[in-house]
Structure 1
Amino acid sequence: MTYDAVWPLCIILVILIVFLSLPIPLFYRIQVVRNSQEDRLYTIDGLRGYLAYLIVFLHATVWYNLVHSKEFKGAAGSYIDLLATTGLCVFFMISAFLFWTRWLKYQGKIEVIPFYIKRFFRIAPVYYLCILCLFIAVMNKTHWHLDVTVLSFIKQIFAWLTFGLFSFPSINGFGLTSLLVMGVVWTIPYEWMLYLTLPIIGVFSKNIWSSLSFAIILCVFTILAQFYWKIHFLAENDMMPFASYAIGILIATLKQMQWQPRLNDFCGSVIMVGCICLLLSFCHKYPEPLMLVLGGIFFYCVVSGASLFGLFKLKASQRMGRVSYSIYLCQGLVLYFFSDVLIVTKHFMMCSIWHYWGVLLGESIVLLLVACCLYIFIEKPSMDRGKQIASKLSQKTNIKHFIT
């Protein structure tokens, strides 16, 4: 058995689901969807947690190699690499799908300022907490000595506080700054790019046919830009997030038009399993066009009600999905703590591959508990506060900031 094997990860996921199903008061405070009008959220929320943990498992291989052989590399081309990177594309599809569905519902007439307020309160609190922990970890690594000029240090901190819209520089000359959060923050600027462009591209949501045309053109353009054209204004020519957004917009449009196969849960689940098998059989390394195609088909089955034989409808799966943002954002710090700070586990995980899997199980459980606490005490109250501020702003000004 190797460190990038898949079946131990499946066992860990089963243990996490069983753990989340236990009658623990902490878990009961995580709300799950009950309204029959929100059936689509059963499957989407149930999916998110698994996608987040696939990325955790991939990043765990990076730390394994770093500790074991002093090499900064993951399990490139392995099954877990294919599942995690394709899962990340599906994450982007989910974001675009949910927001474009809302834009279609209101035909582009969305209150822009309240929208941005709610998104800020959704993303910022947990993000800033992670950045605070990152800052402490970096300063501890550099022995609390300022190794750059004060102005450079301020610029570096400011870049991280602004969600890295322009870059995520090393802090205080510590070259492995991003490693401490496993570089997951690189997706945050892409999220904000989506938020900032929605009021502009929202003009295409006024009419369902213009939405369909826009989505198809965007899909074609982004896929061509990724695999055939040379786009120099993006780092590493990575258009996969934008291509994933385009597919999410297309799926939201098709869903709104009710252009979806009449499949029951079982048939949809069979197709989803088929997509996974094809992905593992014919894809080799991120990025590949087939990843987008299979990821899009998989996600389309999910929004059509398929739950992977009921897995995504489990309350435990939905709870894990609710805290997926904190899982995703905090994974690097937890992995860093177990693999570098905590010397006992650092040496223990190197004893054998079985010891490594045992440590990874412990890391996964601790990460889940941390994410649950962050969701209950920070994430959810912040979201509620953002909604209150946005609502008061609308009532106070009595002006609707519509994009018409």
Structure 2
Amino acid sequence: MNFTIYVFLLPILVVLIISVLLVNRLIKTDLSEIRYPEIDGLRGYLAFFVFLHHSYIWQVFLKTKNWEDPASNLFNQFGETTVVFFFIITAFLFTTKLFNNKTGVIDWSDYLKSRFFRLFPMYFFSVIIIFFLVAYLTQFTIRVPFIENLKSTLSWLFFNVSKNSNLNGLEDTFILNSGITWTLPYEWTFYFLLPLIALWFKIKVNLKAVLAFTAAAAVIMIINKSSLRHFMPFVGGIIVAILLNTKKFEGILKQKKYTLLAILLLSISVYFFNGGRKPIQIVISSVVFLIIASGNNFFGILSSAFSRKFGQITYSLYLLHGILLFIIFYFIIGLERAKTLTNTEFWLVITASVFPLILICQLTFKYIELPLMSISKRNKTKKT
């Protein structure tokens, strides 16, 4: 199986490129001017790596009924290291916004609204699909007490999804979206900790905002039973923001030799480690991200219009790929037939699923994400 999946990486990449180009012709969206185009370009690839990570897990799951991390170093890091990068990116961007705040005044209610409009609508859409799938799979009958259903429903609606958050008694409900939502409470915790971080950097913050936001972060951590080790990448992102704020790296890390250094560091990480969450790997990921955030575009790839267009659908791709995988193997192929797929047949299915995945995500980005983000921006403009 290991050899087959590596052979299919090239055709999957080719189909991805064709799909992104074709979909962007069919469903056009504009690129906006942003400060870090390389980061925008990076995100799409990260989300796609998570799709490959869960594809591997699905192949093993179909054969063994065990949902477990990939044995392949590369495919496991497609999941774990990618999440580390997402956390680093979040911490870097929002800490940088604190440093770049010229007025010294931050409207924390606006900040929360913008986060809500950015994250909740698309998430809510994905959860509605899951609710419908659960209703169908449980024959539209109530299987557990009302209170239990209410608790699990609220858990899903408010991002607090774990392997025990089964809806209507459906065992392992998390498989319907590959369990990807576990990262979102950590993102929200960081958002609520931002006033405290601002205070740490001696940025003027309303004390009531600090107390209220920190309390909310604590509640999320307690309810979610958060592991402190998952906050290490956020620290990495903050450190990168501090380093770049000194302006000492301007222009230096854009050189091609640092692109090669980044590739070498990632190769060492993949070769020697199965996961991406150990401290040394988080340091490696932070150094690689420092190079990218400094304006290194990896030979023009990350800042290209192609990569940035691809990067626009990151959130939809992250939320929907697991649902698509479930629908393919449960409804289209059927679990019994899917169990018998050869390695080649399985990865042909994954390759064929790339185009519909990109198409669906482009549609949801344009007609769900983009309009709601625009509402948030309009409200902010009216206030200013």
Which TM-score band (shorter chain)? Answer: 0.7 to 0.9
Deviations 1:306-327 (A, max 9, x none): 1222221222211111110000
Structure 1: distance between partners of 2:376 and 2:39: 23
Q: Does 1:378 align with 2:362?
A: no
Structure 2 counterpart of 1:361: 351
2:234 match: 245
Aligned equivalents of 2:202, 2:161: Cα separation in 1: 29
Residue 164 of structure 1 corresponds to which residue in structure 2?
160
Q: What is the correspondence of 1:1-400 to structure 2 with a 5 Å cutoff?
A: 2=2, 5-22=5-22, 24-29=24-29, 31-33=30-32, 35=33, 38=34, 40-106=35-101, 109-164=105-160, 169-206=165-202, 238-260=227-249, 262-343=252-333, 347=337, 350-392=340-382, 394=383
- Please, what is the CA RMSD of the aligned residues? 2.6
AA in 2 matched with 1:110: I
Deviation digits for residues 169-210 of structure 1 (CA, Å, limit 9, x no counterpart): 211111211110111111111111111111122113346xxx
Counterpart code for 2:245: Q
Higher deviation after alignment, 307-316 or 139-148: 307-316
2:31 is matched by which residue type in structure 1? V
**Separation in 2 of the partners of 1:285 and 1:236?**
21
**Does the CA contact (< 8 Å) of 1:283 and 1:290 recur in 2?**
no
Q: Which amino acid aligns with 2:16?
A: L
**Would you say the 8 A contact 2:85–2:289 is kept in 1?**
yes
Structure 2 residue ranges without an equivalent (≥5): 204-220
Say if 1:235 and 1:22 are closer, same or farther in 2 by CA, change over 3 A. Answer: closer
Gaps of 5+ in 1: 208-231, 396-404
Structure 1 residues 14 and 343, CA gap change in structure 2 (3 angstroms): closer
User: What residue identity is the alignment partner of 1:112?
Assistant: W
1:27, 1:174 → 2: CA distance? 36
Match of 1:210 in 2: none
Offset from partner CA, 1:47-87 (integer Å, 9 cap, x none): 10111111111111121112223332241352111233112
Aligned partners of 2:188, 2:37: CA distance in 1, in Å? 25
Q: 1:352 to 1:165 in 2, by over 3 A?
A: closer
Write the distance in 1 (CA, Å) between the matches of 2:262 and 2:240. 16
Q: What is the deviation of 1:268?
A: 2.3
Shift in CA distance, 313/7, structure 1 to aligned 2, threshold 3 Å: farther
What SS does the corresponding residue of 1:313 show, helix, strand or coil? coil
SS in 1 for 2:349: helix
TM-score, normalized by length of structure 2? 0.87
Looking at structure 2, the residues matched to 4 and 290 of structure 1 have their Cα atoms a distance apart, in angstroms, of 30
**Cα offset, 1:134, TM superposition:** 0.4
Q: 1:75 to 1:166 in 2, by over 3 A?
A: closer
The 10-residue stretch of structure 1 (338-347 or 368-377) with the greater mean CA deviation from structure 2? 338-347
**Residue of structure 1 in register with 2:213 after alignment:** none
- Per the alignment, do residues 237 and 285 of structure 1 end up closer, same or farther by CA in structure 2, a change over 3 Å counting? farther
Q: Quote how far apart the aligned CAs of 1:143 are.
A: 1.2
CA–CA distance in structure 1, aligned partners of residues 23 and 363 of structure 2: 16
Matched AA of 1:67: L
Q: 1:233 to 1:189 in 2, by over 3 A?
A: closer
Q: 1:277 to 1:25 in 2, by over 3 A?
A: closer
Give me the whole-angstrom Cα distance separating, in 2, the residues matched to 1:316 and 1:18: 11
> 2:73 is aligned with what amino acid?
S
Q: 1:199, 1:167 → 2: CA distance? A: 31
Deviation string 1:127-159 (CA, Å, 9 cap, x unpaired) is 001110101111111111111112221222122
Q: Percent identity?
A: 27
**Shift in alpha-carbon separation, 1:193–1:166, aligned structure 2, 3 A:** farther
Q: Residues 6 and 151 from structure 1, CA distance in 2 versus in 1: closer, same or farther, beyond 3 angstroms?
A: same
Greater CA deviation, 55-64 or 370-379? 55-64
CA distance in 1, matches of 2:348, 2:172: 26
Contact 2:149 2:168 in 1 (8 A): yes
* Equivalent position amino acid for 2:84 in 1: C
Q: Distance in 1 between matches of 2:90 and 2:333?
A: 38
Give the alignment's TM-score, normalised by structure 1: 0.83
Q: Which amino acid aligns with 2:127?
A: I
- Which residue identity lines up with residue 257 of structure 1 in the other structure? T
